[in-house]
């Protein structure tokens, strides 16, 4: 059951993801999909075992009565894109992306969309319980129809952003040997950009650096290239649904990207996660936008966007979701082109960042715990926050939409249980660096007290 996570299904190839477990997964998923149609689009990332898992999954889906539309190796956004396309009269009712995203090369996983909605949370846990109790389905004749989703996606992007052809900005980019290179090179070439890429060829062993652009040390090479040859830089994670945007002066995080994108939208509704800077929420509201704070997680944000008819959503880590002029899912390639659109329209990204209120923010700080203890630990922490020690900083408000975001006089601190790993994730922000440190020390002391009380 450990492979069934909040947002996806993930594990180690052969040890947890093997022919039996994945064939059964496909069979059980077919039952969830059949009420919406009979075709499911399936793609995979650059990992060496992804094509093998495709065959296992297709066998299970076929046994469960679904026809598989095989798109081969693609970025995750191309997989999502297929849910809105027709291929020779066939429109898929669901899609599955086989990807380990930014995890180590021995990992792989499955991101599932059914009826244009993410399949996640209790849906995944219930599916896991069902699979755990079932036997191996009987094999049936292979029914896989090959489709060219990559060309369809690239054509859509080139046509949608043809107005960028006159752009003379020097662009550099790092695909991290993930799958972004399958589309970004041709799109940039067709649009006539002055662009130079590194680590463009897909290689699931990730020989140059880990494909996670939210970690600063993975950006060393692209920063050097930006310094010598570029005006703006982009970096992508392993499956191209997360982006990093770098300028000579800034590494622009997802929440600040959202502020920039929203500048060209009229009174937008923008959803951020609990880790987003207060500067983002306050500035959006000052500009006339509706700003909503919600749970972390790409599936959570997609569902909330649809519920609120929002225009844009973001995570600090670089997931950016556009419903404005797009389909409402996270797509790093599309986010790249929308950022270049701002540049073409004369937006000086660094100047806009410089205009914002100055705050001191920590990166995500992780507190190790266990899968069993992390949620009881959060419950105990919430209890202690009701009657904190006399020395604890003055609390103005506690927001508990996802963990606890404690609002203090000059900033905030966040503690939440990760849905994917055995850690508590913390982040702190203040208008004064000393206060940010004070909030961090105070909340860490309270976490330690909660741990001590749970052990008694």
Q: Note the pLDDT of residue 134.
A: 87
Give me 232's structure tokens.
Answer: 């703006």
Examine the domain organization and report whether 367 and 338 are in the same domain.
Answer: no
Q: Note the pLDDT of residue 446.
A: 96
pLDDT tens by residue, 299-356: 999 999 999 999 999 999 999 999 999 999 999 999 999 999 999 999 999 999 999 9
pLDDT tens by residue, 113-148: 999 999 998 999 999 999 988 888 888 888 999 999
Give me 231's structure tokens.
Answer: 């005006």
Q: What CATH number corresponds to the domain at position 388?
A: 3.30.310.50
In a domain, 155, yes or no: no
Give the contacts of 10 (CB within 8 A, at least 6 positions apart).
3, 100, 103, 107, 108, 109, 110, 420
The C-alpha atoms of residue 289 and residue 398 are separated, in whole angstroms, by 23
Q: What CATH number corresponds to the domain at position 53?
A: 3.40.120.10
CA angle 296, 301, 304 (to 5 degrees): 125
Q: Which of 372, 397, 370 is nearest to 293 (CA)?
A: 397
Examine the domain organization and report whether 132 and 258 are in the same domain.
Answer: no
**Beta-carbon count within 10 A of 41 CB:** 29
Please say which residue of 353, 379, 403 terminates a domain: 353
Residue range(s) defining the domain that contains residue 294: 251-353
**Beta-carbon count within 10 A of 129 CB:** 11
Q: 21, 50, 95, 101: which one is catalytic?
A: 101
The C-alpha atoms of residue 282 and residue 333 are separated, in whole angstroms, by 28
The C-alpha atoms of residue 241 and residue 222 are separated, in whole angstroms, by 18
Examine the domain organization and report whether 24 and 141 are in the same domain.
Answer: yes
Q: Is 434 noted as a catalytic residue in this protein? A: no
Q: Note the pLDDT of residue 101.
A: 86
pLDDT tens by residue, 49-69: 999 999 999 999 999 999 999
Examine the domain organization and report whether 289 and 391 are in the same domain.
Answer: no
In a domain, 55, yes or no: yes
**Beta-carbon count within 10 A of 16 CB:** 15
In a domain, 195, yes or no: yes
**Beta-carbon count within 10 A of 355 CB:** 9
The C-alpha atoms of residue 397 and residue 407 are separated, in whole angstroms, by 5
pLDDT tens by residue, 77-112: 999 999 999 999 999 999 999 999 888 889 999 999
pLDDT tens by residue, 174-223: 999 999 999 999 999 999 999 999 999 999 999 999 999 999 999 999 99
Q: Which of 215, 8, 201 is nearest to 101 (CA)?
A: 8
pLDDT tens by residue, 240-257: 999 999 999 999 999 999
Hey, what's the torsion of the CAs at 360, 417, 206, 314, to 10 degrees? -60
- Greater confidence, 456 or 17? 17
In a domain, 285, yes or no: yes
Examine the domain organization and report whether 366 and 290 are in the same domain.
Answer: no
Please say which residue of 212, 240, 268 terminates a domain: 240
Examine the domain organization and report whether 267 and 233 are in the same domain.
Answer: no
The reported pTM is: 0.95
Examine the domain organization and report whether 266 and 196 are in the same domain.
Answer: no
Q: Note the pLDDT of residue 419.
A: 79
In a domain, 154, yes or no: no
Q: Note the pLDDT of residue 237.
A: 96
Examine the domain organization and report whether 407 and 385 are in the same domain.
Answer: yes
In a domain, 62, yes or no: yes
Going by pLDDT thresholds of 50, 70 and 90, the confidence category of residue 1 is low
The C-alpha atoms of residue 76 and residue 73 are separated, in whole angstroms, by 9
**How many structural domains is the chain composed of?**
4
Q: Which of 31, 26, 33 is nearest to 57 (CA)?
A: 26
The C-alpha atoms of residue 278 and residue 255 are separated, in whole angstroms, by 9
> To the nearest whole number, what is the mean pLDDT of the chain?
95
Please say which residue of 337, 353, 369 terminates a domain: 353
Examine the domain organization and report whether 113 and 185 are in the same domain.
Answer: no
Examine the domain organization and report whether 345 and 373 are in the same domain.
Answer: no
In a domain, 157, yes or no: no
Q: Which of 137, 158, 45 is nearest to 96 (CA)?
A: 45
CA angle 33, 39, 45 (to 5 degrees): 90
Examine the domain organization and report whether 368 and 398 are in the same domain.
Answer: yes
In a domain, 287, yes or no: yes
Strand intervals (E) in 13-55: 39-44
Examine the domain organization and report whether 143 and 206 are in the same domain.
Answer: no
């Amino acid at each position: 059951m450990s492979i069934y996570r909040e947002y996806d299904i993930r594990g180690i190839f052969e040890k947890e993801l093997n022919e039996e477990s994945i064939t059964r997964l496909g069979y059980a998923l077919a039952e969830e999909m059949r009420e919406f149609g009979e075709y499911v689009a399936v793609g995979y990332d650059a990992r060496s075992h992804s094509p093998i898992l495709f065959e296992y999954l297709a066998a299970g889906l076929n046994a469960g009565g679904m026809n598989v539309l095989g798109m081969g190796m693609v970025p995750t956004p191309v997989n999502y894109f297929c849910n809105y396309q027709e291929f020779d009269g066939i429109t898929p009712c669901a899609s599955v992306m086989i990807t380990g995203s930014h995890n180590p090369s021995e990992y792989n996983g499955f991101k599932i969309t059914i009826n244009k909605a993410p399949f996640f949370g209790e849906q995944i846990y219930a599916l896991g319980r069902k699979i755990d109790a079932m036997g191996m389905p009987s094999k049936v004749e292979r029914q896989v129809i090959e489709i060219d989703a990559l060309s369809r996606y690239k054509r859509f992007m080139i046509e949608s952003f043809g107005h960028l052809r006159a752009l003379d900005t020097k662009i550099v980019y790092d695909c991290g040997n993930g799958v972004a290179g399958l589309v970004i090179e041709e799109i940039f070439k067709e649009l006539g950009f002055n662009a130079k890429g590194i680590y463009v060829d897909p290689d699931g062993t990730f020989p140059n650096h880990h494909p996670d652009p939210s970690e600063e040390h993975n950006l060393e090479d692209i920063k050097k290239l930006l310094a010598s040859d570029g005006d703006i830089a982009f970096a992508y994670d392993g499956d191209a649904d997360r982006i990093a945007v770098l300028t000579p002066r800034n590494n622009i995080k997802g929440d600040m990207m959202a502020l920039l994108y929203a500048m060209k939208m009229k009174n937008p509704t923008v959803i951020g996660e609990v880790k987003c800077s207060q500067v983002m929420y306050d500035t959006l509201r000052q500009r006339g936008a509706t700003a909503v704070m919600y749970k972390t997680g790409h599936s959570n944000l997609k569902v909330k966007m649809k519920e609120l008819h929002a225009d844009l959503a973001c995570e600090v880590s670089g997931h950016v979701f556009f419903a404005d002029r797009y389909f409402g899912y996270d797509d790093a390639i599309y986010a790249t082109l929308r950022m270049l659109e701002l540049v073409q329209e004369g937006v000086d990204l660094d100047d806009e960042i410089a205009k914002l209120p100055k705050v001191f923010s920590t990166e995500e700080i992780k507190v190790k715990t266990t899968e069993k203890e992390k949620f009881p630990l959060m419950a105990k922490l919430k209890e202690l926050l009701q009657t904190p020690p006399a020395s604890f900083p003055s609390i103005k408000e506690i927001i508990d939409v996802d963990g606890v975001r404690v609002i203090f006089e000059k900033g905030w601190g966040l503690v939440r249980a990760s849905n994917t790993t055995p850690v508590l994730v913390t982040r702190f922000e203040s208008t004064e660096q000393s206060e940010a440190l004070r909030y961090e020390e105070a909340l860490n002391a309270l976490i330690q007290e909660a741990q001590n009380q749970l052990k008694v």
